[in-house]
Amino acid sequence: MHRVLSTVVLSCFATITIAASEPPSVADARQKAKMLGDALKERLQNAIQQGGFPAGVSECHLAAMPVTERFNRAGWTVGRTALKLRNPANTPDTWEKQQLNEFAKRLKSDSEHIPEASYYDAQKGEFRYMRAIVTRPVCTGCHGASVGQDVKAVIDTHYPNDEATGFAPGSLRGAFTLSWEAVPDSQKY
């Protein structure tokens, strides 16, 4: 679906087609991660304002994936991952798991700097980027050590295998994870 959309867009704008074949920079990926974070935060804040943390859980359940998938265009795949998951669809692969373990270690010794990792594999035409997501005090309402009974009830309804509680502010909650692949020639025009 998204692939079709990006192909149509690309065929209308030849200059973008050329740009999409160049590997992106870390700054591009950082900006995309920030845009995703802002989009999710806005939905979450609105829902919490209207119906408290239980409504926030339902909103995340409904909106997190569709909001995230909107960023999947022009070769990009964007998402969130973590070592302890709420949504199993966010399960990390081997590279992601290594970075998450490394991020957790780095944050323990230095909570001022947000850890990042990236690489570009020229042979595969693949670029990957991850940026740590740090637990903030507001997050503990749904991810902390003592989540309210009413919140827990909604979490259990949507996520019966939830592992994503017990997080303290300042610790690693997860990461944004982005990958980019050169758009094959056959899909350019």
Q: Given the rule CB under 6 A, which residues bind ligand HEC?
A: 44, 48, 53, 56-57, 60-61, 64-65, 80, 82, 85-87, 90, 133, 135-136, 138-139, 141-143, 164, 173-174
Please check whether residue 20 is in contact with residue 10, taking contact to mean a CB–CB distance below 8 angstroms: yes
Q: Which is nearer to ligand HEC, 32 or 86 (CB)?
A: 86
Q: Which is nearer to ligand HEC, 88 or 184 (CB)?
A: 88
Q: Where on the phi/psi map is residue 82: left (φ > 0), alpha (ψ -120 to 50), or beta?
A: beta
CB of 47 to ligand HEC, least distance (A): 7
CB of 157 to ligand HEC, least distance (A): 10
Please check whether residue 185 is in contact with residue 36, taking contact to mean a CB–CB distance below 8 angstroms: no
Q: Which is nearer to ligand HEC, 61 or 188 (CB)?
A: 61
Q: Which is nearer to ligand HEC, 9 or 39 (CB)?
A: 39
CB of 115 to ligand HEC, least distance (A): 14
Q: Which residue is nearest to ligand HEC (CB)?
A: 56
Q: Which is nearer to ligand HEC, 165 or 187 (CB)?
A: 165
User: What gap in Å lies between CA 83 and CA 173, rounded to an integer?
Assistant: 8
CB of 54 to ligand HEC, least distance (A): 8
CB of 149 to ligand HEC, least distance (A): 14
Q: Which residues, other chains included, contact 184 with Cβ-Cβ below 8 Å and sequence gap of 6+?
A: none
Cα separations in angstroms, 142 against 153, 162, 169, 187: 11, 11, 12, 42
Longest dimension (CA), the chain: 54
